[in-house]
Structure 1
Amino acid sequence: MNFQQAVQTCFSKYVDFSGRASRSEYWWFVLAYVVLAIVSGFIHHIVYALVILAFLLPMLAAGARRLHDIGKSGWWLLLGLIPLVGLVLLYFMVQPSQPEPNAYGAPPVPTPV
């Protein structure tokens, strides 16, 4: 999955907390978020707040789908609220996808480039 496909997919599933998201889908979307947050921060604090609000639900949904892809519940995202313990989330997010279907569905199908 490329950058544009990942951003389109995550925004089209912005409140879909079911299913699975591949590593590339999640990390391309995180990159889009970080770049836009940095750029908007230089523009104006109101623009920055709007970007943060626009990405809030899609980022939570993509994170939950990414955790589903490795066989974990989306509730594990709450670890991010605990300082330092939330680093466990980083470990989870970089894990490879489970190749077999799990309780959250079939593995994401790679899209042709």
Structure 2
Amino acid sequence: MNYMFEPLKKYATFEGRARRKEYWLFTLFVLIGQFVANIIDGLLVILSEGAVVPFVSLLFLLVILLPWFAVSVRRLHDVDRTGWWVVIGLIPLIGSLVLLVFACLDSQQGSNRFGANPKEFADQPAVAAA
């Protein structure tokens, strides 16, 4: 559960690496949050009996956009790709598929030019203090 909210703690941190677990759990959080925001907007439309700007959805999107972009860049760093690969997502269909493949790849073993492998630290057992 900690991985789901880790990108919010690193709100605009583009350095370092993000594990698949961190990326996908945060993506799940964003999807659930957007679903709830859409429901709230739908209820507001019903209650106001007219067209209403989807204020809650837009606000959620604005708040979550920077951390989602940052965790995407860190995820690319984890597979030893530069963060500029995010720009390929602007190409319809093909760009999204390329980013999906990169997001699904396993972490590069050991350290790379973007830092130490976060998976290695998480898999080590805790050392008891003497």
TM-score by length of 2: 0.80
1:92 alignment partner in structure 2: 102
Query: In percent, how many aligned pairs have the same letter?
Result: 43
- Structure 1 runs, 4 residues or longer, greater than 4 Å off: none
Instruction: Give me the whole-angstrom Cα distance separating, in 1, the residues matched to 2:38 and 2:58.
Output: 8
2:2 alignment partner in structure 1: 5
Instruction: Give me the whole-angstrom Cα distance separating, in 2, the residues matched to 1:47 and 1:6.
Output: 25
User: CA offset at residue 54 of structure 1?
Assistant: 1.0
Task: Please tell me whether residue 103 in structure 1 is matched to residue 103 in structure 2.
Answer: no
RMSD: 1.3
2:84 alignment partner in structure 1: 75
Instruction: Give me the whole-angstrom Cα distance separating, in 2, the residues matched to 1:36 and 1:84.
Output: 24
Larger Rg: 2
TM-score by length of 1: 0.91
Instruction: Give me the whole-angstrom Cα distance separating, in 2, the residues matched to 1:57 and 1:7.
Output: 15
Task: Please tell me whether residue 31 in structure 1 is matched to residue 28 in structure 2.
Answer: yes
Task: Please tell me whether residue 43 in structure 1 is matched to residue 40 in structure 2.
Answer: yes
Partner of 2:122, secondary structure, is coil
Structure 2: stretches of 5+ with no match in the other structure: 42-53, 126-130
Task: Please tell me whether residue 64 in structure 1 is matched to residue 90 in structure 2.
Answer: no
Partner of 2:109, secondary structure, is coil
Number of residue pairs matched by the alignment: 109
Structure 1: stretches of 5+ with no match in the other structure: none
